[in-house]
Amino acid sequence: GGGGWGGNYGYGEMGAAEMAIPAGHVSLIRVGGGAFPDLCDLFCPRFRWLCFTTVVSIIQAIMLVVCLIVGATMFDGAFVKGNDMGGPSGQTFLYMGAKYLPDIQKGEVWRFVTPIFLHGGILHLASNLFFQCRLGFIFELRWGLANYIAAYLLTGIGASFFSCLLSPKSISVGASGALFGLIGADISYLIMNWAYLPQSEKYQELCIVICILLINFLFGMTGGGDGNIDNSAHFGGLVFGFFVGFALTNLLQPEDPNGKKFRAFGWGSFTTLSIICLCCIFLVVSAN
């Protein structure tokens, strides 16, 4: 589902100001580079062509173009009046693989995953790509490529689970559930590494995360009633992200005595919640 985005982000640049930051950590707070950052600084800090964040963003943009073509040639148009995001109708997205519970219950389980790569329109894609590029490059460097990809996909699937449970009749697309999952995982990262992060930075980052969640919560409450925002997917991504963060994000001190407990809690909670959601989706919830 679509979502708002808020918060004033930055990142740490290599230099004297970053000497106190422990190995394995990439700062979210911009600590150097002058008063006026360049556009890359502003919209996609730590940008790299050869990374998952870039690749998935390109795939999502291509998939929107494909959806517009499919809508124009097979359904009721590339841009329809009922879609305030600037895109085709729900029938187009249903055809392309949107989350839709009745089809999932018939065995089309790929619909848990495919919505991550689809977006409801130009505005929806633009807002999510801004969010994704503003944080994704940094989180990918922090947590490592494999862990970042796993967190992104697992939380996106978790968002689809919650959307099926709490909004069973909706046709839903978007990566914002996965993006909320990254925020949830970052909260876990902060909890696990709180003692090892610079004093000022950890409080600033915590404030940034809280601001993002509050702004998106308010945006969802005021704009979600028209059916364009899947708040259940956002909430599901956040919850799954919190558990996945304990399982996958890096410990800055690998010898931390609580490390194994964090991992066990993360994987145990993620697995348990996934099983409960799947049982409810296929055995309890009805979309009729």
Token pair, residue 213, equals 């969640």
Please give the torsion angle defined by the CA atoms of residues 121, 127, 128 and 130, in that order, rounded to the nearest 10 degrees: 140
CA 142 – CA 153 distance, rounded (Å):
17
Residue type, 44: C
Residue ranges with strand state E in the chain: none
CA 234 – CA 5 distance, rounded (Å):
12
CA 13 – CA 284 distance, rounded (Å):
51
> What are the distances in angstroms from CA 223 to CA 84, 172, 217?
11, 15, 10
Catalytic residue among 167, 176, 188, 232: 176
Eight-class DSSP state of 136: H
Catalytic residue among 25, 119, 124, 234: 234
Residue type, 87: G
pLDDT of residue 97: 97
Answer yes or no: 170 catalytic: no
Residue type, 259: G
250 neighbors 221 (Cβ within 8 angstroms): no
pLDDT of residue 201: 85
Answer yes or no: 57 catalytic: no
Instruction: Tell me whether residue 33 is exposed, middle or buried, using C-beta atoms within 10 angstroms of its C-beta: 0 to 12, 13 to 18, 19 or more.
Output: middle
Mean pLDDT per 10-residue section of the chain, whose length is 288 residues: 38 40 72 60 85 97 98 96 91 97 97 97 94 93 95 98 95 95 96 90 89 82 64 96 97 91 98 98 88
pLDDT of residue 218: 80
Which one, of 166, 201, 146, lies nearest residue 29 by Cα? 201
pLDDT of residue 214: 86
